[in-house]
Amino acid sequence: MPTILVTGGAGYIGSHTRYFLQQRGYRVVVLDSLERGFREAVPNEILHVLDLRNTETIAMLLKTEKVDAAIHFAGYISVGESTKDPEKYFVNNVSGSLSLFEAMLHADVRKLVFSSTAAAYGVPDHVPIREDQPFAPINPYGESKVMVEKILGWMDKYQDFRSVRLRYFNACGAEPEAGLGERHDPETHLIPLLLTAVQTGKPITLFGDDYPTPDGTCIRDYIHVSDLAAAHIYAVEYLLNAGASDVFNVGTGVGASVKEVLEAVERVTGKPVPFTMGPRREGDPPSLVADSTKLQTKLGWKPQRAELDRIISDAWQFAQSLKTS
Ligand code: UDP
């Protein structure tokens, strides 16, 4: 079986993808700085603790491990933080990626799956969003991903460097049986924060109910992390089978408002969620829902755990295991 490098494999989506790659029989090499990832999310024997900027060391690793393709998750992911410290986002997400690509070229590894984002579309003209909508990011996080997508376009054209760019919508849920789930520090994402509010009794602040949506709160497309991980496996297999560079949205195609997510959390946990209504958060578009038809028809991917209650139930199981461990 081929060997796959996973950068950011100690992070949320990276750790789930690593798990499913190994389940499928791939050899996996994980590279993670552990700045924001968790050591225990990766089997020790495959973990290399390394910053992406160590180009030479990464090139050597790729050669000695005989890596066939890479899946590149490592990067900062918080919209809010990126509006406070844009430079940090460009250094880490853009320079870090370039260093990895340089190492890959040195080692003649020319297949890459890249974590991109729905934030690349900004406030979209049409919802559900298709891949051919133009780039229009409204925050530095989204812009940093767009920059890397564009770099990959040129590398495809002139350096035979093939990539699949996956534009994620809202990753959530967990794989509690594998001991994997969402653990950002600080946590900024809606579902884990709602679950923490249930556990602690401390209210969560909801960011605005004056959006042009039916209940006034923002609409997002929440996709189970394991379905998202599966999309990476379809993508890397497509590249290993000599597929051309391409871009795909990864979402369920169904949107849920912040209030609807809160109600689902109350249903699943059987407890009320304490909350206060706050102002809008900087950089939040009103509605982001994926049209993932292309991923379904071209690569044969299909979400298996699309229902919100199932997603939240997995996340809840994981959150409870953290509390008791
Ligand atoms: N949100 C909220 N309160 C929070 C965190 C998030 O109301 O404490 C809202 C946020 O404004 C957005 C939705 O929940 O409309 C999803 O946000 P999240 O940060 O989970 O993901 P993003 O959409 O930024 O990728």
On the question of pLDDT at 132 being above 90, the answer is yes
Q: What is the pLDDT of residues 184-214, one digit of tens each?
A: 888 999 999 999 999 999 999 999 999 999 9
Instruction: Quote the percentage of the chain above a pLDDT of 90.
Output: 95
* Distance in angstroms (rounded) separating the CA atoms of residues 184 and 76: 11
Atom number of ligand 1 nearest to Cα 288: 23
Q: Tell me what the mean pLDDT of segment 210-223 comes to.
A: 98
* Distance in angstroms (rounded) separating the CA atoms of residues 266 and 268: 6
- Ligand 1 neighbourhood includes 120 CB (under 6 angstroms): no
For domain 176-220+253-324, the CATH superfamily is UDP-galactose 4-epimerase, domain 1 (3.90.25.10)
Tell me whether residue 141 is one of the annotated catalytic residues: yes
Q: Are strands 27-32 and 3-7 parallel, antiparallel or unpaired?
A: parallel
Looking at residue 282, its pLDDT comes to 82
- The separation between CA 302 and the C-alpha centre of its own chain, rounded to angstroms, equals 17
Size of the chain in residues: 325
Catalytic residue, from 141, 168, 211, 222: name it.
Answer: 141
Torsion of CA 201, 191, 176, 270, to 10 degrees: 50
* Distance in angstroms (rounded) separating the CA atoms of residues 140 and 85: 9
Q: Taking the model in full, what pTM does it have? A: 0.97
User: CATH 3.40.50.720: which residues of the chain?
Assistant: 3-172+224-250
CA–centroid distance, residue 217 to ligand 1 (Å): 10
User: CATH 3.90.25.10: which residues of the chain?
Assistant: 176-220+253-324
Atom 15 in ligand 1: which residue has the minimum CA distance? 218
Looking at residue 24, its pLDDT comes to 98
Atom number of ligand 1 nearest to Cα 78: 24
Looking at residue 269, its pLDDT comes to 98
Looking at residue 167, its pLDDT comes to 98
Residue of 16, 7, 21, 14 whose CA lies nearest to 237: 21
Work out whether the CA dihedral 275, 276, 281, 284 comes out positive or negative: positive
Phi, psi of 259 (to 5 degrees): -65, -40
- CATH 3.40.50.720, applies to 3-172+224-250: yes
Q: What residue type is assigned to position 242 of the chain?
A: A
Atom number of ligand 1 nearest to Cα 258: 14
* CB within 8 Å of 44: residues ≥ 6 apart: none
Q: How confident is the model at residue 325 (pLDDT cuts 50, 70, 90)?
A: low
Q: Tell me what the mean pLDDT of segment 76-91 comes to.
A: 94
CA–centroid distance, residue 207 to ligand 1 (Å): 7
Looking at residue 324, its pLDDT comes to 67
* Local structure of 165: helix, strand or coil: strand
- 157 class by beta-carbon count within 10 Å (0-12 exposed, 13-18 middle, 19+ buried): exposed
On the question of pLDDT at 232 being above 70, the answer is yes
* Of the candidate ranges 43-47, 166-170, 280-284, the one whose mean pLDDT is the lowest: 280-284
Residue of 52, 304, 78, 110 whose CA lies nearest to 192: 78
Residue 42 DSSP one-character state: S
